[in-house]
Amino acid sequence: MNSYTAKQIAEILQQDDPRLNLRTVRYYTQIGMVPPLELRGNKRVYTDRHIHYFRAIITLSRTGETLASIQETLKKLSMEDIEKISQQFILYEPSRIIENETLKITDDVIITISPRISAELKQRVIDSVSQALRGENQ
């Protein structure tokens, strides 16, 4: 597992969200949003695990969650779930939200479609997903 300084973590995360700086990394660490740092020799370091936590925080904050709510949510989740959330941060990138169309099929299924696809293909995708949810054969 890789190890990072707070500065290195901030540089990595700024590629995902320019608002996340060194001060924010230290603050989230201080208030317990991420797990305690790990000891490597005589130094406390961040690891890949911490990157997943920070990316999950970015993702959840982009959905409108408060820091307190995010902190409570993360405490209840397994590491596997946190990794899944951290991999979805790209879906909540502001430019993607503006460019793409998000459609709610059911309470459990939401799809995002690029505006570059034709209206006909968009409708076929919606119909296919709807049929699959109803368990119909094609």
Give me the residue spans of the domains in the chain: 3-92, 100-134
Lowest-pLDDT choice from 14-18, 56-60, 80-84: 14-18
Query: What is the pLDDT, as a whole number, of residue 118?
Result: 87
Distance CA 83, CA 28 (A): 18
- 94 compared with 28, residue with greater pLDDT: 28
Residue 10 CB partners (closer than 8 Å, separation 6+): 20, 21, 22, 24, 25
| pLDDT above 90 coverage of the chain, percent | 49
E strand or H helix at 127, and its extent? helix 119-134
Residue of higher predicted confidence among 90 and 136? 90
Average pLDDT over the chain, rounded to an integer: 87
User: What number is the average pLDDT over the span 36-48?
Assistant: 93
What CATH architecture applies to the domain 3-92? Answer: Orthogonal Bundle (1.10)
Secondary structure class of 60 (helix, strand, coil): helix
User: Nearest 5°: CA angle at 88, between 81 and 118?
Assistant: 140
Strand intervals (E) in the chain: 3-4, 38-40, 43-47, 101-104, 110-113
Identify the pLDDT of residue 138.
47
Query: Which tens digit of pLDDT belongs to each residue from 73-119?
Result: 999 999 999 999 988 877 666 555 566 677 788 888 878 787 788 88
Give the pLDDT score at 67. Answer: 92
